[in-house]
């Protein structure tokens, strides 16, 4: 059973298409995007629509997705990231904005856990950068032996 797990597309339609074309060469059981469909790149709507067109695809909320639809989420963004978020915010269709607003923070696939940030409070956007962060992440995985983390 093949699961296609990818993350941080950031509005780069060409990269998303390349990943999906490569993955589509074999039978795929599921597609899971770990978040950050938008931000930086020029094609936020097209990336969202491409993913939405895949039947059964799962997408999680990333920090750039959250910041695009909620200014309060922009506190820790550097200027280049803010420019990408502001571009995406202006470009989004109402339907795609609503799609981003409703994305979950985590996905329990049964055999694995998927999150954009650490499984320890994924809505806090914590990066797993050191032993303490890894220990928090592992402790938060519950019964799962495998977790996919974006960022």
pLDDT of residue 1: 79
Among positive and negative, which fits the CA dihedral 12, 43, 37, 86? positive
Residues of the chain with pLDDT under 70: none
Task: Note if the pTM is more than 0.85.
Answer: yes
pLDDT of residue 24: 83
> Could you give the domains of the chain?
3-107 (3.60.21.10)
pLDDT of residue 124: 96
- In Å, how far are 16, 75, 82, 118, 143 from 43, measured between CA atoms? 10, 24, 16, 27, 37
């Amino acid at each position: 059973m093949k699961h296609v797990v990818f993350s941080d597309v950031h509005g780069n339609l060409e990269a998303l298409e390349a990943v999906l074309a490569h993955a589509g060469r074999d039978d795929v059981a599921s597609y899971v995007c770990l978040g950050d469909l938008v931000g930086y790149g020029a094609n936020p709507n097209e990336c969202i629509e491409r993913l939405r067109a895949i039947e059964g695809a799962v997408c999680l909320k990333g920090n750039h997705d959250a910041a695009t639809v909620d200014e309060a989420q922009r506190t820790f963004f550097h200027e280049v990231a803010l420019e990408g978020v502001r571009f995406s915010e202006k470009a989004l269709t109402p339907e795609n904005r609503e799609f981003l607003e409703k994305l979950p923070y985590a996905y329990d696939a049964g055999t694995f856990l998927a999150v954009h940030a650490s499984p320890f409070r994924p809505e806090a956007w914590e990066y797993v950068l050191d032993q303490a962060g890894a220990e928090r992440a592992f402790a938060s995985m519950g019964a799962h032996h495998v977790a996919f983390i974006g960022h």
